Amino acid sequence: MKKIEHIGIAVKNLDDSNALFASLLGKKHYKTEAVLSEGVKTSFFQVGPNKIELLEATKKDSPIAKFIEKKGEGVHHIAFAVANIYTEIERLKSEGFIVLNDQPKKGADNKLVVFLHPKSTNGVLIELCQEINE
Binding site for Zn ion (CB under 5 A): 8, 53, 79, 127
SS3 91: helix
Nearest distance from residue 53's CB to Zn ion, in Å?
5
Nearest distance from residue 6's CB to Zn ion, in Å?
6
Q: Report how far residue 78's alpha carbon sits from residue 36's, in angstroms, rounded to the nearest whole number.
A: 21
What are 128's strand-pairing partners? 80, 114
Nearest distance from residue 8's CB to Zn ion, in Å?
4
Element (H, E) at 9: strand 3-10
- The smaller minimum CB distance to Zn ion, of residues 7 and 93, is found at 7
Residue of this chain nearest to Zn ion (CB atom): 8
Query: CB–CB of 41/54 below 8 Å?
Result: no
- The smaller minimum CB distance to Zn ion, of residues 44 and 97, is found at 44
